[in-house]
Amino acid sequence: MTAAILALLGGFAAFGGVVMYVVNTLRFDARWLAWGLVPGWASIVTAVLLVIDLVASIMLVSGAILVFRKRNPGRVLVVLGCLGVIGTYALGALSTVIQLMDYRFPLSRQLEAILGNSSIDSILGADVDIPWAVSLLMMVFPVLTVVLAVLPSTKRWCRGGADRRPAGRAPGAPTMQPYPMPRPGMPPAGGYGAPQGHWQQPNQPPQGGYRPGNPLR
């Protein structure tokens, strides 16, 4: 349950980061993907990171819902979504490092730019000065979510939905059909008792053979 809750929050955060990037670009009348302000490959990397974040958010939300419903594929979606979030953060930091090295900027003084690439920076970074340590700390949550998703207890939880069967019946046991009860006036089924077609009706004399009062017949 904790893995599902963290995955759900992480999915909303990743989706919110993509939305706020678009909103801030329109808000400040900035160039899309910083095209022309940074090398062309850096703009392409930014576009790829946005797509990965969007896909990761869908995976996390879908995976969380499936885990809540005890479906085993939900664990896989949660793990893949978290790896996508971690990957975008690492790739964004690497892209920033390469750009700073091209312009010969000292990396030790640019930790805000290098490590400030989390979803919280995309959501609040335009209005709030977020320290790089907070951005780095945000990466603890996807890592923790991956660990919780692969635990044996989570695996048993998700497999519980696939093993739903009536209590007291062993797996693979055949289902017993109820024996039909005879209705009044109908011969009993199963080949025993009175033969079919000779079931005596009430208040009727026996047919054939002996009749009362006539010892010769």
Taking alpha carbons only, the member of 20, 98, 99, 6 closest to residue 54 is 20
Query: Residue 25: pLDDT above 80?
Result: yes
pLDDT of residue 189: 52
Q: What is the pLDDT of residues 50-61, one digit of tens each?
A: 999 999 999 999
Query: Residue 192: pLDDT above 50?
Result: no
pTM, to two decimals: 0.72
Phi, psi of 214 (to 5 degrees): -130, 90
pLDDT of residue 151: 95
Question: What does the block give as tokens for 121?
Answer: 């920076």
Confidence band, pLDDT 50/70/90 cuts, at residue 21: very high
Judge whether 18 and 78 are in contact, CB under 8 Å. no
Question: What does the block give as tokens for 134?
Answer: 């907070």
Q: What is the mean pLDDT of the chain?
A: 82
Query: Residue 199: pLDDT above 50?
Result: no
CA distance 69 to 66: 5
Q: Give me the count of residues in the chain.
A: 217
pLDDT of residue 171: 52
Of 27-36, 65-74, 177-186, 190-199, minimum mean pLDDT range: 190-199
pLDDT of residue 203: 55
